[in-house]
Amino acid sequence: MSHVAQSKGRAGFITGFLFAPLALYLTFVIWPYVQTFGYSFTNWTGQSPTFDFVGLDNYATLLNDEVFRGALWHNLLLLVFVPVITILLALFFAFMVNAGGRSGAGGVRGVGGSRFYKVVYFFPQVLSLAILAVLFGAIYRSDEGGLLNGFLVKVGLISPQHPVEWLNEPNFVLWCLLFVVVWHGVGFYLVLFSAAMQSVPRDIYEAALLDGAGRAQTFFKVTLPLLWDSVQTSAVYLGIAAMDMFVLVSTMTSGQFGGGPDHHSEVMATVLMRNFLYFGKSGYACAMGVVMLVLTMILSVITLRATRRERIEF
């Protein structure tokens, strides 16, 4: 009986300990999702407390919304390029600062000045997205005063009378935003991969070098397989970031809540906010939010399953 009473007491303690966090999570996280899903079937304007049930009309309208479909395509492009470029650069830099130097008396080591490089690469991560928007707004300025245009004028690639409209050029604007996201994220994932590499025994790298493996072979045959769990997790987080992009697009591009020129930098989040706050189509915006949620969950599951491999232990 004492054992049963002890088990009940432990269960009661655990239940009581978890009740408050679970209640807060259900109230402030799960319930807003449920409300959004419910509002997506209505014509709610966001201002009026009354609204009518419209069924699947909002979702049917989404299928014929060219702006939203264009924004979805831009998000999918970012979903491919942001994780791939960021992870490849972060892996390369992490490998160089941890094991890129040649083996010597001290064993495998990073390139010279690797500690300094880690600080330099991580520095963009300490800047907020608002500061990044101001910083790169100055870099992409559409006159000779912009850093990028000023450099191109100095080297003679463009004339001062015809500067490049980086954020107003339909063929450039999305890639300019992509560069900002990659520049901001590489440092964080470099530190993440560096921490994972430091847990790998140096004997493994030394054995590979003794067998005559070069840097490229060591990277692809040793480093990448041992860091695959970290790469997999990073791909999911970067994919979620690529599905958002609201702050940079809304602050760096033209138009109401960004998206210019002529919707060439539009993402789903900017279309959602414009409909919610500017056009008063809150129910329609909620339908967009549900689509974004479902797509993000599906893509996360696909990424985890597509990158699943047998765990390598050392």
pLDDT of amino acid 62: 93
Helices (H), the chain: 2-25, 31-39, 57-63, 66-99, 114-122, 129-139, 147-154, 173-198, 202-210, 215-218, 224-226, 228-242, 246-252, 268-273, 282-306
Q: Give me 71's structure tokens.
A: 């924004």
Contacts 24+ apart (CB under 8 A), 176-180: 176/136, 176/140, 177/245, 177/248, 177/249, 177/252, 177/253, 177/265, 178/78, 178/81, 178/82, 178/85, 180/132, 180/136, 180/248, 180/252
Identity at 122, one-letter amino acid code: F
pLDDT of amino acid 5: 54
Residue 46 domain flag:
no
pLDDT of amino acid 106: 47
Residue 237 domain flag:
yes
Q: Do 236 and 92 sit in the same domain of this protein? A: yes
pLDDT of amino acid 292: 92
Rounded to 5 degrees, φ, ψ at 104 are -135, -150
Q: Do 95 and 222 sit in the same domain of this protein? A: yes
* Nearest partner of 75 among 292, 252, 254, 283, judged by Cα: 292
Residue 51 domain flag:
no
Q: List the domain range (segments joined by +) for residue 75.
A: 56-306
Secondary structure in 3-state letters for 54-108? CCCHHHHHHHCCHHHHHHHHHHHHHHHHHHHHHHHHHHHHHHHHHHCCCCECCEC
Q: Do 283 and 147 sit in the same domain of this protein? A: yes
The dihedral through the CA atoms of 122, 223, 179, 116 has a sign that is: positive
pLDDT of amino acid 314: 53
Residue 45 domain flag:
no
Residue 68 domain flag:
yes
**pLDDT tens, N- to C-terminus, the chain (314 residues):** 455 555 665 666 677 778 888 888 899 889 999 999 999 999 998 887 888 999 999 999 999 999 999 999 999 999 999 999 999 999 988 888 877 665 554 455 666 677 787 788 888 888 888 899 889 999 998 887 888 999 998 898 888 888 889 999 999 999 999 999 999 999 999 989 988 888 777 777 777 777 777 777 777 777 788 888 888 889 989 988 898 899 899 999 988 888 888 999 999 999 999 999 889 899 999 999 999 999 988 988 888 787 776 665 55
**Cβ-contact 270, 248 below 8 angstroms:** no
Residue 290 domain flag:
yes
Residue 313 domain flag:
no
Q: Do 278 and 200 sit in the same domain of this protein? A: yes
Please list, residue by residue across 48-66, b when 16 or more beta carbons sit within 10 angstroms of its beta carbon and e when fewer do: eeeeeebeeebbeebeebe
pLDDT of amino acid 120: 82
Q: Do 5 and 67 sit in the same domain of this protein? A: no
Residue found under tokens 């300990």: 17
Q: Do 9 and 132 sit in the same domain of this protein? A: no
Q: Assign residue 91 the CATH number of its domain.
A: 1.10.3720.10
**Domain count along the chain:** 2
Q: Give the C-alpha separation, 305 to 313, whole Å.
A: 20
